[in-house]
Structure formats: C-alpha cells, structure tokens
Structure 1
C-alpha cells in the first residue's frame, strides 16, 4: 500500500470539483517526434485551457474548498503559472486573490495575472523570497496561504492527470514528468503506482535547479543556494519534506537535464509537434536527449505542462 498524503478516492472525487475544461486533455502519439528521438512518444497536452498549464486542476480544488468553507481570500507565491491559475479559479468562485512573484518572473506570466484583476505584489530575489512574503501576507491578513505541492489540493488536482493516463496505461511503459515543487510528480505518480504499477514514473529537473532531484537521490532534503535555469517554473531551492516523502514512494527515478537539452527539446516540440511550450514543458524530451540509449525503443508519455512563455525569449531560444 502506498504511504503518501494522497488518497485515491479523494482524487477521483476531485474531478467533480474541477471545471471540465481542465479535464480529459488530449493524449496522442506524436510519430514525428518519436522518430526523431528513437522511441514511441505520446504527448499529454495540459496547455489547451484558459491558464495554459496543468495548475488549474489544483487551483479549482483550492478555490471550491475555500468557497464551501466560507473563506473569501487567498494568497500564493508563484513563478507565474500557479498565480494565473489561482487568480482564474478565484475569480470564478468569488475569491479575493493576491499573488506574490519575483521581479525576475517572465513578464508574459505577470501580465496575464494582472489582466485577471488579481492583486500582484513583486519582490526582489527568487521564488523562495516570494514564498516568504506570501506567508507574511497570510499572517497579517488572516487569509489562506496556498502553497503549491505542500497543499494537498494542488497534488490531488494534478493527480487527476494520472487517472486519465491510467485508462490508457497499456499503450506506454514510462511517463516523464517535469519536477519542481513536486505536485504533479507526486500526484501523477501516486495514481499510476496504484492503478498501473508497471509504468515507470521518471521525474526530470534542470541541472541548474537540482534541489528536489538531489533530495530524491539522497533520500533527505537537500537545498541549494541559488538556481540558474531558463525553466523558471521548476526553479525552487528548498524542497518541502512532506512532498519529498511522497515522491520517494511513487517515483522510480529523478534525472537532470542540461539547459542545451531543454532548448533543443523546445525546438523539437515546435518542429515535430507544432507546440510552443515553456522550458519546463520540454524537460521530458530533454531527458530522452540526455540518455537516448536508456529510452531507445520504449513507449513514453511526456506531460506538456505549460505554454506560458515570453515570446521574445522563446524566439531567442528556438531560432536556428
């Protein structure tokens, strides 16, 4: 029996609280990408929704729970995607949402948060500094602090992706999941290990932000002093102990990818799949590029987790 914070019955029930536009996302084999990588590659597309990422699955659970308990406000720290998703779900459920982000966050993500009418506060420093400020706001105002990956709703919302994958588990033998705070990895991993235990759950993180992968390998929390990666959505320095405990139960491996492989992965997804993705969403492809012999001939799913990217930066990364 899996000993994690997640619960399969709650995950199944979560589908009733999540707006259907976030559910049952496309899963299809991309033959051109597979030929280029030397394996069969299917894409689980989590970007065809109003917030262009998988985060809406979790924020829908958060917002509906707050509404049901008579709460009217929430605050979160975000690299961009969680903030946009919480702002969107909060507006739908009548909540007052504040997002704290770093000045370094991509301008495109910040602009979309503002466009919702969501209150946005910017701080100097990185995501972990934003997390500290969000916690202070929650204490000062007496409102809910939404913490991605720590809050079980964010994990169990993401876990509904796993339910959809499990229905077609006979068509693949491994899933590649971008690893940051760990909500998607622990959520999808929990479901697959419960319902399709023969599927390998492989997490992928940038070499420039390796804290959770190092923690997974050493089976203890390992922090880093800084991050240096274009994959801003997964660039944390301080893994959450409870999330690491869950990850250790459900992940088969965690690997690191170089920046060059992430960029090549973005180019390949554009060329072979017609997808404009943010760097974090290319980590699965990057993992195959890093170790082609490991994945040769296998049947893989890569989760395309977000497409919120600054177009000027994207053009710089992907131009020949």
Structure 2
C-alpha cells in the first residue's frame, strides 16, 4: 500500500460549505429526488427505513449535482474553452448533460473496456467521447494531457470543494423531507457525497448520525482513517465499480474525518442482498454501488441492535449492466444468510445421499453437485436453504460432524462461489505438481493473448475457468504445472502481468473438488 501525505491547501470551514451548498445551482439540471419509505424492510427491522432515490435523476445518479455545481461557476473564458473529465460511468454522464445544458463542450475520456451502453449514454447526453487506455488511471492520464494541450478545465469526480458542495444538496433535501431522522447512511468511494452531506448535516442538525459505507474490497476511507491521511490501496474490487476507488480525495477525507460519526464496510454478497431488497420494496433496480448505503444500514442496525429509529440510505445510482444481475441473483441469498454452501465427504455407496439428506431434515437443498471419484469416498458440493440464518447453518455443520461427515463451510469462500461450484468433478487423472491462481481480467480485445504472452509457454496450463457477469472485468481461475524450483520465476512473471491475482492452492474448495493429492 503506497502512502501519500495530504496536500497543503487552505481548507474551507463548515460555514463556508453550508453557504456554498445553499446557493448551489444544481436544480438547473437536477431534481429533488423522492425519499421513499421501504415498508417491507421497515417491518422486518422494526425501524422506519427510507430510501433517497437519486436513481430518479436525469442521469440516474447523484453525480450530476456535483458536476453541474462546478461547471456552472466556471468563468466565461473557461466555459468557452470547454471541460474534460475521465470516467467510465455516472460522472461522465453528469458532466455530459451539464455541458449540454450550459452550452459547454464536454470531452469525456473513457477506458476502452467501458461497455457500449455507457459510452452511448454519454454521447446521448451530448458528450464527446475519447476512448483511451484499459483502465481508469490510463484514461485519467490522457484527460489531464488533453486538458494541458487544449486549455480544458478538468472536472474531477469527487475531490473538489464545488463538487462536494453540489453533492451536499442531497443532505439539505433529506432534512427538509424528514426532519426527524436519526441516522443517514451514505456510500463512500472517493468520498464526495459522504463529505458534502456530512458537513451540511452537522451544520444544521448535528444530532443526526451520519454513517459512511464502503465495500470491503475498496475501503479507501477505512485505510485513510487508520493511517490518519489518504493512502493508495494496492488494488480494489470491481463488482461495485461506482465506488472502486484506490485513494479517497484529500479534501473529501478531511471532511469525512471531521464530520462522519462512523463508517462500516460490507461484502459483495451483502450488496447483492440490498439490491434485492430495493427491488422487492420499490421495483427499482439499483447498480451495486447504488445499494451500498442500504447494505450498510442493514448491517449497522443488526450490529448495534437499533430499534424504533428513523433511518435513511441514499440509493446513489441505477446505471447497471443488465447481465450483471445474474451475479446479483446468485449471491443475494448468501448475503442474507438464507443459503449455505457446504463441501461434504460421504461414503461412495448406495443410499449415501439419502442418509445425508435425512440429517438435513426438511430443509430444502438448493444445489447438489457430484461426480464419481473412487470406490470409497465422494466429495459433494451442496447448497442448503436457511430460514434461521447463521445459527441454523452452525446447527447443520454440528449435526453433520456428529454424524461422522467431514464438512467444510464454503459460504464465504469467494473462489468456491465464483468458480468451483461450476467445475465439480474436474479432478486430474494423474498426480500433478499443480498450483492454482485466481485472476481479474480486464474485458478488452487481446486480454487473454496478453496473459499468455506474458507467462510464455514454459508452464503448462492444467485448469482454466472463466466467469464474467457483465462487468468490465472477467474472473479467471487457472492451474499451472509448477515445480518448487520454478516458483520464484513464475511469481516474477505474474507481477509483470499487471493483473490482480491470488494464490488459491491452499483453498479448501480446490482440495475437495479439483486437486489430485500428491503423495
């Protein structure tokens, strides 16, 4: 993790931000989004749960507020020269629409990996799109280069006082719509919305608790709070791509550190469960980062046993790729602890599966994967419907072990959930000196070829599974025949590759279902 000290800038105080938020001209393009009560979730948690519907904005995201607030205050000379931004999603659309309304040329640099639906949306809002690079950092570098060459004003996605003030107008609407709120939950990526809403709330109604919510695999605020200043994460997860930020902004961190009451991190499975909650209560389909705040609300309520409180979460966006909903659907039940995934060893004999099911009782089996291995023992991959959450899963594990069944809980094993459940029965016929690695592949032409060229042809690929759920990144599980003497050289090649990777050789799901144990 690389560390960087914050820049030395004369900070604005809370009163300055309150003034700027109150006079922000965001309603030239944005609407006052509704605050909708979630009846099902309110009854379930014995609290009033409300959802701030920023998905109803013209660009289906809150990002329009900050972009327009900054662009509306440019000088005439700056407007004439035009603006530029780097974004693969919601910020791009906000800048494009604001530029169209203000008569300002808006150039958006987007990675070549950006799905066509997002590129088309930016063009539809009047933005001039430049496709460059295979990730956000490369696109941002090009945007800054073009800004220098053509005199464009760079519009950042979060770390600018005027952008933060624009997002802060959400807080003003919240207290106007419900002046009796006890808690407000906000998504945190670069920190713009959390900073803007928190500073506004603490100026007007400091009794309201403001909680920041991060995805576990991109928790740059948590890292900054631990260090005392912004740090750069080595890598971030890409599922909730709207908050997949390696480093929180300097100014947004300063405000979050000062004004947030607390922060919490949630898993991808919990985010999927929140997407399902939003759909069941409102029929809206949130993007993963859009459901982040609600996932945090649910987890915070359970952790602190909140009752009879008035709670609000911001649904920050709904620009989701339709194909990603397959992944959400698969993982939502796990996120709610309504399903458990188990690896169980049973005897290879007639009636073994029946006996196993007798121990499960009347619980529903949601998934059962098996392939004959030998004449003695069989490893099965089983999904079980849970009505009693983690406690019921613990009881199942206890009952199986007491009955003499070796069992492993895979409910939190990412490799098992993404890959192994689709590969049951894939043991090699011969002993292999095999090591297993998971990768994230950027979705652009030639990515697989680059992977193979970088590794060369020295190591035999012994296993390969590719999964993509409509996101900008695919998930790859790959086995290699590697001797101990070659491990250092192989690892050096992986570092050269430049993709995110993890050694999965000791993963229990691999041991149960895919490996051939060497003696």
Are 1:172 and 2:174 an aligned pair?
A: no
Deviation, structure 1 residue 168:
4.3
Measured at CA, do residues 212 and 125 of structure 1 come closer, stay the same or move farther in structure 2, by a change above 3 Å? Answer: farther
- How far apart, CA to CA, are the structure 2 residues paired with 1:270 and 1:276? 6
Which residue of structure 2 aligns with residue 54 of structure 1? 62
Runs of 4+ in 1 over 4 A off after TM superposition: 67-70
- How far apart, CA to CA, are the structure 2 residues paired with 1:138 and 1:32? 49
Greater shift, 68-77 or 272-281, is seen at 68-77
Larger Rg: 1 or 2? 2
Deviation, structure 1 residue 55:
1.3
Q: Which has the higher contact order (CA 8 A, sep 6+)?
A: 1
Measured at CA, do residues 5 and 184 of structure 1 come closer, stay the same or move farther in structure 2, by a change above 3 Å? Answer: farther
Measured at CA, do residues 127 and 35 of structure 1 come closer, stay the same or move farther in structure 2, by a change above 3 Å? Answer: farther
Instruction: Look up the SS of the partner of 1:190 in the other structure.
Output: helix
Which residue, out of 19, 22, 28, partners 1:12?
A: 22
Measured at CA, do residues 217 and 79 of structure 1 come closer, stay the same or move farther in structure 2, by a change above 3 Å? Answer: farther
Which residue of structure 1 aligns with residue 244 of structure 2? 235
**Over residues 185-213 of structure 1, what are the superposed CA-to-partner deviations in whole Å (9 max), with x where a residue is unaligned?**
11101110000101111111111111122
- How far apart, CA to CA, are the structure 1 residues paired with 2:15 and 2:83? 22
What TM-score does the superposition give when structure 1 sets the normalisation length?
0.91
Q: Any conservation in 1 of the 2:181–2:310 contact (CA below 8 Å)?
A: yes
Measured at CA, do residues 232 and 222 of structure 1 come closer, stay the same or move farther in structure 2, by a change above 3 Å? Answer: same
Which residue of structure 1 aligns with residue 310 of structure 2? 299
Q: Any conservation in 2 of the 1:33–1:269 contact (CA below 8 Å)?
A: no
- How far apart, CA to CA, are the structure 2 residues paired with 1:304 and 1:98? 27
**Over residues 54-85 of structure 1, what are the superposed CA-to-partner deviations in whole Å (9 max), with x where a residue is unaligned?**
11112222232236455220001113101101
Deviation, structure 1 residue 315:
4.1
Which residue of structure 2 aligns with residue 71 of structure 1? 79
In structure 2, stretches of 5+ residues that fail to align are: 1-11, 334-519
Are 1:211 and 2:200 an aligned pair?
A: no
- How far apart, CA to CA, are the structure 1 residues paired with 2:152 and 2:227? 36
Q: Any conservation in 2 of the 1:58–1:158 contact (CA below 8 Å)?
A: yes
Which residue of structure 2 aligns with residue 116 of structure 1? 125
**Over residues 83-125 of structure 1, what are the superposed CA-to-partner deviations in whole Å (9 max), with x where a residue is unaligned?**
1011011011111111122334444322201223422223334
- How far apart, CA to CA, are the structure 1 residues paired with 2:119 and 2:305? 37
- How far apart, CA to CA, are the structure 1 residues paired with 2:179 and 2:125? 40
- How far apart, CA to CA, are the structure 2 residues paired with 1:214 and 1:199? 25
Greater shift, 78-87 or 66-75, is seen at 66-75
- How far apart, CA to CA, are the structure 2 residues paired with 1:5 and 1:278? 34
**Over residues 42-65 of structure 1, what are the superposed CA-to-partner deviations in whole Å (9 max), with x where a residue is unaligned?**
111112121111111122222322
Which residue of structure 2 aligns with residue 311 of structure 1? 322
**Over residues 207-232 of structure 1, what are the superposed CA-to-partner deviations in whole Å (9 max), with x where a residue is unaligned?**
11111222134321121121113111
- How far apart, CA to CA, are the structure 2 residues paired with 1:29 and 1:310? 26
- How far apart, CA to CA, are the structure 1 residues paired with 2:59 and 2:75? 20
- How far apart, CA to CA, are the structure 2 residues paired with 1:79 and 1:251? 28
Are 1:28 and 2:39 an aligned pair?
A: no
Instruction: Look up the SS of the partner of 1:22 in the other structure.
Output: coil
Q: Any conservation in 2 of the 1:229–1:259 contact (CA below 8 Å)?
A: no
Q: Any conservation in 2 of the 1:128–1:237 contact (CA below 8 Å)?
A: no
Greater shift, 227-236 or 118-127, is seen at 118-127
**Over residues 133-157 of structure 1, what are the superposed CA-to-partner deviations in whole Å (9 max), with x where a residue is unaligned?**
2211111111100112222221111
Q: Any conservation in 2 of the 1:6–1:156 contact (CA below 8 Å)?
A: no
Are 1:279 and 2:291 an aligned pair?
A: no
* Greater strand proportion: 2
Deviation, structure 1 residue 284:
1.7
Deviation, structure 1 residue 33:
2.1
- Where in structure 2 are the equivalents of 1:42-191 lying within 5 Å? 42-66=50-74, 68=76, 71-72=79-80, 73-191=82-200
Which residue of structure 1 aligns with residue 424 of structure 2? none
* Greater helix proportion: 1
